[in-house]
Structure 1
């Protein structure tokens, strides 16, 4: 599985880059107690930090709000997924455990302050993922249960069209306990250097494999 970034995104967002991880032979299940405990403690720490500052002052949140503006999507109406997580925690509406893959994905998103998507590879079509901007009238049913407008939104597409975005993913390829192969897209901060992007992505991959087994390989794609 390869990933590409459309020239349109590159033209509108300076420094746009994503981390891309391909996992094979993983085992997804209930989160280990270690992960549950870390996620809970981290959320409590974030909650207290956010009593002193607004969510929009978090560096990664602010950078991704600017990206949404740059591509023509109002960040006040369409909040990227990392910002949505932080806003939940600010209201003390803590994330509940779902499964080991999604819980870890949420943990990393909070830790690195950026949207991160994980998808069941066997539910995607083709051998290539393209990141592009959604077209006028383009929609999909999201994991939020609603039909979401994709116009001017950065979307991840397989051969059949969009299946994910840094706003909300579609219901096409969620990771569950039956998942054995997956792809993960880390929507990195534009300010992050290539070297630091590689270190972050590899660290995430290594921890994911330590919990789920299997094997992984990663790459960084730049716009």
Structure 2
């Protein structure tokens, strides 16, 4: 699909006013990347992961993971919509907890954005945009929305809690609890060439720090191929 189509989808993405009412400090930085070449973990992605692990170990030597400022902010956000942060860990907390013993090595693309997430303590999600139905939307769920999960080799449909903050498209929920669990329907795989990255920010993370993380992600992705095309947008409170 043409880059112009990516820009249209980016422009059509929305965050519900109900989400900003819950957290007026929230910002979503969306990045759509076209023409991503697939590949296994390599020396460059390994270097990023090792740097992220070292960064995480330094932070964890200074305070518990739950007191890292941006992770602490996400724990409070989860409490605000009724999800226990001790039971449901936001994505960057879950990754940071693994960093001391070693982050997972998945593939080049996943390694890159996991490394940026841990280094900057920012939840980052990666979605296969070609599997989307319409633009991305962040809403507070009614509880009737469909969320597909894989269980026992089969796809079953679950539903978010009423009031839960979820990312979705026109077909259903793509990620539950803001940045807790992605559904298999839009997950990245070996055929993915077009990705929507979602960087979630709360205070005390500044717009400048959010932009630095996005720049590092974009730089790492553009190094994969001269054919990579990137468009980005920040959605914040009006």
Taking structure 1 as the reference length, the TM-score comes to 0.87
* 8 Å CA contact retained: 1:142, 1:171: yes
- SS of alignment partner, residue 20 of structure 1: strand
Q: Which residue of 2 aligns with 1:27?
A: 37
| Map of 2:147 onto structure 1 | 140
Matched, 1:215 2:233: no
1:138 CA drift (Å): 4.6
The correspondence for 1:188, drawn from 201, 204, 216, is 201
Report the Cα offset of residue 59 of structure 1.
1.4
Is the partner of 1:184 in helix, strand or coil?
A: strand
In structure 2, relative to structure 1, the CA distance for the partners of 1:20 and 1:79 (3 Å cut) is same
- For 2:118 and 2:217, the matched residues in 1 are separated by 12
Between the aligned partners of 2:158 and 2:72, the Cα distance in structure 1 is 23
Worse overlay, 29-38 or 61-70: 29-38
Q: Distance in 2 between matches of 1:97 and 1:120?
A: 19
Q: CA shift at 1:99, angstroms?
A: 1.1
CA distance in 1, matches of 2:122, 2:172: 23
Root-mean-square deviation (Å): 2.5
**Alignment correspondent of 1:123:** 131
Does 2:165 correspond to 1:154? yes
Q: How many matched pairs?
A: 220
Q: Structure 2 CA distance, aligned partners of 1:202 and 1:143?
A: 34
Alpha-carbon shift at residue 144 of structure 1 (Å): 9.4
Structure 1: which 5+ runs fail to align? none
In 1, Cα distance between equivalents of 2:144 and 2:231 = 35
Q: Is residue 87 from structure 1 mapped to residue 97 from structure 2 by the alignment? A: yes
1:46 Cα deviation after fit: 2.7
